[in-house]
Amino acid sequence: MKKFTTLCFFLLTMTLISVAQFDDKFYFPSKTVRPIDSSLNAEWITLRTDTVSLSGLFLKPAGKPKATILFCHGAGGNISTYIFMTRPLVQAGYQVLMTDFRGYGHSTGTPTHLNIAKDGQLFFDYLLKRPEVKDTRLIVFGASIGTQIATKLTHDNAARVSALVLDGPMSSFTDIAIHYAPKEQHAMIKMGLVSPYSAKTDITQIGNIPVLVVASKGDKEVPFYQSEVVYEAAPAAKSIWDYNGAHLEAMKINPVEYVKRIDALLK
């Protein structure tokens, strides 16, 4: 997410002819995969779609899982960058599928808004076919830019989703671009950069699925007001945790409270 500051440069120097020409400025994948903690019961998986292969990491708890989580990470890094967010969940009894969309980690290809939406659905469908998942409740969890695809997946698969967790959500791709751009560029962005899907819109149509929004007024990367926009748009049972810390730091600061709030979604 720190690299979102580069949006300013591109907004000033590029003509926004189409969304496809601009998508890549939102994603900063790393191909360097850090070693996975050996204490985790981890299984690497590979899915294939059109011309790319996608990599995922399935983390298994000790004993019977209390629920299943599909985890969509942020704009930078890859699966291994976000283990700090999923380790406490596994230790608390959740089984977790972490997704690397195309271009990230071991996954091939180049990410765009539309093709990672396809990737997300492929991971979702795969997850439902796993025997240990079929009889569990499913939580979709998005972090930072991953909140966009997490909300879309929840919208598109509402009948199978039990809860939605959004950590550091931006309200839309367009909104975050406007936030980082000079004021004189805002009109051009609104005309030329149209979000093909957005959390603030998709969340209005997820029915009775409970939502947890995790956000901080001290977040310097995604402004708190965008989390509030998404939270206010959620139609059913919802809660917002305004923690004191930087972007995506809640799980580092207080993992016990984080897990407690996720547990509450299933009651």
Q: Could you read off the pLDDT of 197-227 as tens digits, one per residue?
A: 999 999 999 999 999 999 999 999 999 999 9
Q: What is the mean pLDDT of residues 73-102?
A: 98
| SS3 of the chain | CHHHHHHHHHHHHCCCCCHHHCHHHHCEECCCCCCCCCCCEEEEEEEEECCEEEEEEEEECCCCCCEEEEEECCCEECHHHHHHHHHHHHHCCEEEEEEECCCCCCCCCCCCHHHHHHHHHHHHHHHHHCCCCCCCCEEEEEECCHHHHHHHHHHHCHHHCCEEEEECCCCCHHHHHHHHCCHHHHHHHHHHCCCCCCHHHHHHHCCCCCEEEEECCCCCCCCHHHHHHHHHHCCCCEEEEECCCCCCCHHHHCHHHHHHHHHHHCC
User: The pTM is what?
Assistant: 0.92
Evaluate if residue 22 carries a pLDDT over 60.
Answer: yes
Looking at residue 4, what is its pLDDT? Answer: 54
Evaluate if residue 5 carries a pLDDT over 80.
Answer: no
Of 39-48, 119-128, 187-196, 236-245, minimum mean pLDDT range: 187-196
Tell me the pLDDT band of 189, cut-offs 50, 70 and 90: confident
Tell me the pLDDT band of 9, cut-offs 50, 70 and 90: very low
Tell me the pLDDT band of 99, cut-offs 50, 70 and 90: very high
